[in-house]
Amino acid sequence: MNKLQTPLFLWILAAVIVVFLISAIIIDQVTHSNPAPVTQPVSDTQKNVKTGNRVGDLAPDFRLKTINNREINLSDYRGKNVILNFWATWCGPCQYEIPPLKEIDREWSKAGVVIIAVNTQDTFERASSYAKTNELKFIIPVDVKGSLINLYGVRGMPTTFFINRDGIITSIKIGPFIGKDEIEERMKTFE
């Protein structure tokens, strides 16, 4: 190959990879069914709020098993501010945001902020091994089939939902956090 063909080859290769990734996402979305949401109690604040996956909606409840073999519901954390993060061990940008999430967990857990980092489309063993290697202390449920990403309308990972004490989604971040300050800025929406 001469020097003029090399950049063209790289562009074609990049285009093929993008088409492949988009196809894989579409196939994944079609093949995974939505899990039935868990029925959740409704407070006075929530009575006129619809359940959904957008800012201002009541976050859909779910039940998943954690890497510690404990079953949790999102509604178990009502009364606390929740950072609901969707990630996977194979996701490079997800790995990038682990240090700021660990800092937030260390500094804010006593103030009632809970991080629930839903590992999606990995095995329990892989998620558990990754958490142990990276010393992750927050709650890590595993959604092996990736069904929960359909319920929440997740289109890319990582995606993070900020859910206030009443269970209302107050902010959504698509993509990795650059640092702790960016997460704390989003946490201001809890109030």
The CATH number that applies at residue 167 is 3.40.30.10
- How many angstroms separate the most distant Cα atoms in the chain? 70
Residue percentage of the chain with pLDDT more than 90 = 71
79 vs 105: CA distance, rounded Å: 17
39 vs 73: CA distance, rounded Å: 10
Which pLDDT score is estimated for 34?
Answer: 41
Which pLDDT score is estimated for 47?
Answer: 62
Which pLDDT score is estimated for 14?
Answer: 76
pLDDT > 80? residue 30? no
pLDDT tens per residue, range 110-132:
999 999 999 998 999 999 999 99
Indicate the residue type of 121. Answer: Q
Q: With respect to residue 35, please indicate whether it lies within any of the assigned structural domains.
A: no
The total domain count for the chain is 1
Other C-beta atoms lying within 10 Å of the C-beta of residue 134: 12
Q: With respect to residue 56, please indicate whether it lies within any of the assigned structural domains.
A: no
**68: domain range?**
63-190
